[in-house]
């Protein structure tokens, strides 16, 4: 297990995650949120919505691939 700390609105939140997921999440968070500076709730919401959109696009691609595989 690995601990990540995220600072939001002046309060630090510690999250314990499996090592491989923690590394991946830390890399993603570094793109959207500053782990060492105070983030706002708006920053967190924007990062969350961006990830939701990324997931939406991946699901669309996956559906297209599955449709192609079913046709063959």
Residue-range domain boundaries for the chain:
2-71
pTM of the model: 0.74
pLDDT for the residue numbered 28: 86
Distance CA 13, CA 6 (A): 5
CA distance 47 to 41: 10
List the chain pLDDT tens, one digit each, 72 residues: 999 888 899 999 999 999 999 899 888 888 888 767 789 999 999 999 999 999 999 999 999 999 999 876
**What is the full DSSP assignment across 4-61?**
EEEEETTEEEEEEE-HHHHHHHHHHHHHHS-TTS-B-HHHHHHHHHHHHHHHHHHHHH
């Amino acid at each position: 297990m690995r601990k990540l700390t995220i600072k939001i609105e002046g309060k630090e939140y510690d999250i314990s995650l499996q090592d491989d997921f923690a590394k991946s999440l830390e890399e993603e968070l570094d793109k959207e949120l500053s782990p060492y500076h105070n983030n706002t709730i708006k920053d967190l919401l924007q990062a969350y919505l961006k990830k939701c959109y990324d997931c939406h696009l991946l699901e669309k691609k996956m559906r297209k691939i599955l449709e192609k595989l079913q046709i063959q």
